[in-house]
Amino acid sequence: MCGIIGIVGNREVAPLLVDALKRLEYRGYDSAGVATIKDGKLDRRRAEGKLANLDRKLGEEPLAGHVGIGHTRWATHGAPTEANAHPHFCNGVAVVHNGIIENFAPLRAELMAKGATFYSQTDTEVVAQLLSAYRQEGLAPREAMQKALGRFEGAYALAVLFEDQPDMILGARSGPPLAVGHGQGEMFLGSDAIALAPFTDEITYLEDGDWVVIKRDLLEIHDRTGKLVERRRQKSQGAAYVVDKGNHRHFMEKEIYEQAEVVSHTLAHYIDFAEGRVKFESSLIDFANLDRLAMSACGTAYYAGLVGKYWFERFARLPVEIDVASEFRYREMPLTGRMAALFISQSGETADTLASLRYCRDHKLTIGAVVNVRESTIARESDAVFPTLAGPEIGVASTKAFTCQLSVLAALAMIAGRARGTLSAEDESKMVRALVEAPRLFNQVLTAIQPQIEMLSRELSRFKDVLYLGRGTSFPLALEGALKLKEISYIHAEGYAAGELKHGPIALIDETMPVIVIAPHDRHFEKTVSNMQEVAARGGRIILITDETGAAATTLETMATIVLPVVDEIVAPILYALPVQLIAYHTAVFMGTDVDQPRNLAKSVTVE
């Protein structure tokens, strides 16, 4: 969610803060602000909407100062207005905050009873007010910080300026990520390595409960008890990330077209192409002796996990319990010693997924993580890390991260099948050969179907509702297609298992309801065609996504038939992600929505 940047520098920092915030735009936001200290006085500029509005304000009213903090806000408490934008001030204290202070209401009431006046609707303002109150009681900044942190419940990453300490920033982490960047005579604080990349590639990640003091030549880290601690300083890959759309209109389009390359990199990490077998094995997860595998994730990553469930159960005969992370730990699934848990997250910071991971860790399960950021919290707290190699994904609607997650899960299912003796060497070799062809097919498919989908999407943009159907691994793709369409075009869409059509959704079918059917010519095809017949009989407008064999096998009239190559079943979910992504993308473009940063959404959801 929100982005944080802080700089204790030796030059004017306001332009640097804004540039760093631009690198955090992918996280999602609806307002922004920066604050600096100059000549012993705090000052700030805030604006609702995009960073261009803040840039404009700074052009009209520049901010001076070599120390400052900045923030992009995704609203949780209070509307996205300038008054609710960060930084929040109170009597010489400035605060930016990512997360939710869950007990803000009683804290606010307590402070108001003592005479405090609040100027925003946010939970964050209680942080500034409480720190100010402790300072007025005579506590030094470090003491005030330690005492205030003991009062907060919930999730937070904080950066704090004190007007009477003009060469220092305090930070704290409990949940959402926060990292310190080491410079030459400068120090930095940021939500992730991408924000810090222009300044340094030397990073120290704070652990949960840590709070930190940074000056130009000082790094002081305390744990939640206040004890001084050391955390590892490491090289970050963030400096290598170039956040640039290139020749594409949007980051989402760029990332769709990058999939051939990044899936190739991911597969190369797990597959020995010469030997025709999967090569990445972790002795920390003993698939051969598992009774069950628990899996959890959120959003698109959850749909990748649903596809993985089909694969693990079919190829490894390993039962999988999967649930969305926000529900996973609350249903109190029985966990045993012969289980392992696998969590999927693009950012590696997803709050619900991390909470579920910790629930499983508390029950002594071995933890595996499929993540795109190896330095992330989920990766650091897992026993075995299975990286995706998608690179930074800026568009909020996940594309290349999804297909890379599928590629990793396919490899893991094959590893599990081999370990459990349920996947023969011949079948493994066949599946590897099929996966190796996927990157080439990506480019072929994108070239072939893009013009057709662009024309189709112009027509789709006129409808208010769309239904997606699929069977087998195409069912999670139907869910993913509906999610993509609704999150960036704002058209209402739902995904269903095709066999569930007659158990309710068929009531919606008429000539105003496009039905997108994902149906490769596999063992489920004939059943899916029967469901298509039910749609056609009620005047529904069918958009069929199938392969050459499937297109030849059906005579039903369609609004459009999108034809892909015939591929192995393990490749189909990865390849068929392309048309559902393109349909959502081009529909959103025609509707004029903000494709990369859709309303109300954040890239990395770091609060529950």
State pLDDT tens for residues 425-461: 999 999 999 998 888 888 889 889 999 999 999 999 9
* Per-residue pLDDT, 240: 46
CATH code of domain 445-593: 3.40.50.10490
- What average pLDDT does this structure show over 416-433? 94
Complete edge-to-edge strand list for the sheet that includes strand 384-387: 320-324, 292-297, 339-345, 366-371, 384-387
* Per-residue pLDDT, 247: 66
**Does position 560 have pLDDT exceeding 80, yes or no?**
yes
CA proximity to 576, closest of 494, 503, 471:
471
Tell me what the pLDDT averaged over the chain comes to: 89
* Per-residue pLDDT, 515: 92
* Per-residue pLDDT, 79: 83
CA distance readout (Å), 472 to 226, 520, 523, 546, 586: 53, 10, 9, 14, 27
Determine contact, residues 542/501, Cβ cutoff 8 Å.
Answer: no
- What average pLDDT does this structure show over 514-543? 87
**Does position 485 have pLDDT exceeding 80, yes or no?**
yes
Alpha carbons within 13 A on the beta-carbon side of 514:
25
Tokens of 566: 């015939």
DSSP state letter for 189: E
Neighbours of 160 (CB within 10 A): 27
CA proximity to 159, closest of 372, 3, 279, 55:
3
CA proximity to 65, closest of 147, 1, 6:
6
* Per-residue pLDDT, 330: 84
SS3 labels along 281-301: CCCCCCHHHCCEEEEEECHHH
**Does position 600 have pLDDT exceeding 80, yes or no?**
no
The domain over range 3-240 is classified in CATH as 3.40.50.300: no
CA proximity to 387, closest of 399, 403, 369, 402:
369
* Per-residue pLDDT, 573: 96
Confidence of residue 601 (pLDDT cuts 50, 70, 90): low
* Per-residue pLDDT, 276: 83
Confidence of residue 156 (pLDDT cuts 50, 70, 90): confident
Residues 221, 211: Cα–Cα separation, whole Å: 6
* Per-residue pLDDT, 155: 75
Determine contact, residues 531/498, Cβ cutoff 8 Å.
Answer: yes
Selection from 371-385, 399-413, 430-444, 503-517 with the highest mean pLDDT: 399-413
CA proximity to 581, closest of 469, 449, 436:
449
Confidence of residue 607 (pLDDT cuts 50, 70, 90): very low
Q: Is the peptide bond before 62 cis (omega within 30 degrees of 0)?
A: no
Determine contact, residues 262/407, Cβ cutoff 8 Å.
Answer: no
Residues with a catalytic annotation lie at 2, 603
Confidence of residue 280 (pLDDT cuts 50, 70, 90): low
* Per-residue pLDDT, 362: 92
Q: What is the pLDDT of residues 72-121, one digit of tens each?
A: 987 777 888 999 999 999 999 999 998 778 788 899 999 999 999 999 99
- What average pLDDT does this structure show over 207-233? 93
Please indicate, yes or no, whether the overall pTM of this predicted structure exceeds 0.95: no
CA proximity to 210, closest of 177, 174, 176:
174
3-class DSSP state for residue 88? strand
Tokens of 267: 């597969």
Domain with CATH 3.60.20.10 in the chain: 3-240
- What average pLDDT does this structure show over 462-476? 93
**Does position 572 have pLDDT exceeding 60, yes or no?**
yes
Determine contact, residues 526/497, Cβ cutoff 8 Å.
Answer: no
Q: Which of 28-42, 402-416, 568-582 has the lowest average pLDDT?
A: 28-42
3-class DSSP state for residue 495? strand
Range list of H helices, 197-298: 251-257, 259-270
CA distance readout (Å), 271 to 106, 346, 411, 571: 55, 21, 8, 14
**Does position 258 have pLDDT exceeding 50, yes or no?**
yes
Tokens of 517: 């059917």
* Per-residue pLDDT, 350: 84
Portion of the chain with pLDDT greater than 90, in percent? 62
Residue 426: which residues within 8 A CB-CB, separation 6 or more? none
Neighbours of 422 (CB within 10 A): 14
The domain over range 245-423 is classified in CATH as 1.10.10.1800: no
* Per-residue pLDDT, 63: 95
Domain with CATH 3.40.50.10490 in the chain: 245-423, 445-593
**Does position 287 have pLDDT exceeding 50, yes or no?**
yes
Q: What is the pLDDT of residues 347-396, one digit of tens each?
A: 888 888 999 999 999 999 999 999 998 888 899 999 999 999 888 888 88
**Radius of gyration from C-alpha coordinates of the chain:** 25
